[in-house]
Amino acid sequence: MHRSLIAIALASAAVVPAFGQDNVVGSGILPSAATNSATRPMSFAQSVPTKGALVIPMRSATLPAGAVDATTAQALDAAIAAAKYEGKEGSMLSLRGIGGYSRIILSGTGDEGDRIANIRNAAGKAGQDLRDEAQPIAIAGGLSADEAAAAAFGYALGQYRFDRYKTIDKKAPPANPVTVVTSESGAADTLWKTRHAAMAEGVALARDLATEPANVIYPESFVERARTAFGTTANVKIEVLDEAAMRKLGMGSLVGVGQGSRRPSRLMLVEYRGAGTGAPLAFVGKGITFDSGGISLKPGAGMWEMKGDMSAAANIMGAVLSLAKSKANVNVIGVAALSENMPGGNAQRPGDVVRTLSGKTIEVLNTDAEGRLVLADANEYVIANKKPAALVNMATLTGSIVGALNDEYAGLFSRNERLAASLLSAGTATGEELWRMPLHKNHLEDMKSDIADIKNVVEGGGPGASLGATFIGFFVDKDTPWAHLDIAGVNWADKAGPVTPKGASGWGVRLLDELARTYRVE
């Protein structure tokens, strides 16, 4: 290589500091120091721009009053009639060469269901379609303040992108602003700034963490990335337990999962207090930053997807970030139980017995059922030290929930009817929907171990999602309202949805944000 090229390479390389080869974990070379390209900023106005690109949410074939000037409206009416466009929910008609606009998108909301949700989805769908449009964007059509804020939120979710590792012919998408037009621009701007912007930031954090490769996000770097995201946000306290602290406490179930990896495990707690001294709502998430299956090794095909086995922990951090940055009147604790499950020489073996913080013992029959193991210790630590008013677990836990619910719902398991009802209501309100799944007393009987208190799987099959939930609930005392969300089918989008580009979905940020705001703590 020519000397000048070597100098350029050395100057641009992202290198992990090392004090000697024995201290290097991985290659010691980060894949990039770049960030994702900038997204379009949001603002609100009372008048419709006369140029750029325009998005008009349509509930029927009739243009909303005041969306465009009379001449442009006449041309649009003719185009709508020619295309037989009806404004059905999820439909879209893209037009060019009308009026002074580079492009006009008619994005259907339909006239049924939740109007706010339909407008959010219509804007999100348009945001994905307009990704490469090198023009300012306007969204207009007789929108109220609530509808305008929802449109901005949907567009923000839809325009998400993760492109920091692209280097060949990389061209950043346009970042021209988005202006949402409403006669209530001041009220819409307040709604956006006091809630929706923070929620969009929380979803982006969750998607970023889940999309990053496992050589970039591992327990220690997850902690630092989350710390950076929270920064100096008011009323937030962060606590992190390293392996030495967890060993001292006897948290053998969590530490055991990561013992085959050179990346040490962590337990991260982010507490936000926006409502005084009342008992907090606890969200406790599985954070397996890579899941090889351990000694019970997974098949190689598709194993790369296991970089996202920490999606639940990422989503929980995103939800707490949303609540804290919007100064919500709630008390919450977000917990990330972080390990890397690898088949190293020190890895735990099938048949090992581990002990949790409370002294309960687990026979580990399958090292690939590891998410429930990290949650066992995390639950016990939170209950013993934080005394939560209720506890919600979240995990990409089982393939069986995917077989049952596909990607339409996450599975909900709960012993508490009020908490379950609140979660179902929050799912309906946000579009992150849940389906109640069974827990039965026989499940616990099936999980009894011959040599320990409980085993982590039932060999030979059975209702895998319910058995996994039963195991997790075993480490939550009966007096604590508890629910478990199995998100294995919804954490990753194989194809784009209205507000979810293909890839990590950030599923659960909006759900948990809504739950925290609406759940009545007794």
| Residues carrying an active site annotation | 298, 372
Cβ neighbour number for residue 184 with a 10 Å cutoff:
18
DSSP letter for 168, please: T
Q: How far apart are the first and last CA of the chain?
A: 69
150/117 Cα distance (integer angstroms): 7
Using CA of residue 7, residue 12, residue 17, residue 21, what is the dihedral sign? Answer: negative
Strands, E, within 168-305: which ranges? 178-182, 236-241, 266-273, 281-291
Q: Are 290 and 342 in contact (CB under 8 A)?
A: yes
Residue type for position 252: G
Strand 281-291 and strand 390-395: the pairing is parallel
286/314 Cα distance (integer angstroms): 9
150/180 Cα distance (integer angstroms): 10
Q: Are 401 and 489 in contact (CB under 8 A)?
A: yes
Residue type for position 211: T
15/475 Cα distance (integer angstroms): 41
107/371 Cα distance (integer angstroms): 41
Q: Are 41 and 177 in contact (CB under 8 A)?
A: yes
The residues pairing with 484 across neighbouring beta strands, listed in sequence order, are 393, 413
> Cβ contacts of residue 91 below 8 Å, gap of 6+?
85, 107, 108
Q: Are 508 and 316 in contact (CB under 8 A)?
A: yes
> Cβ contacts of residue 97 below 8 Å, gap of 6+?
none
CA distances from 321 to 129, 271, 284, 396 (A): 28, 10, 15, 21
> Cβ contacts of residue 182 below 8 Å, gap of 6+?
44, 46, 143, 144, 145, 147, 148, 188
202/442 Cα distance (integer angstroms): 39
Strands, E, within 86-222: which ranges? 92-95, 101-108, 137-143, 178-182
The residues pairing with 413 across neighbouring beta strands, listed in sequence order, are 484
Q: Are 344 and 261 in contact (CB under 8 A)?
A: yes
H runs (alpha helix) in 130-196: 145-158, 185-191
224 — phi, psi (to 5°)?
A: -70, -35
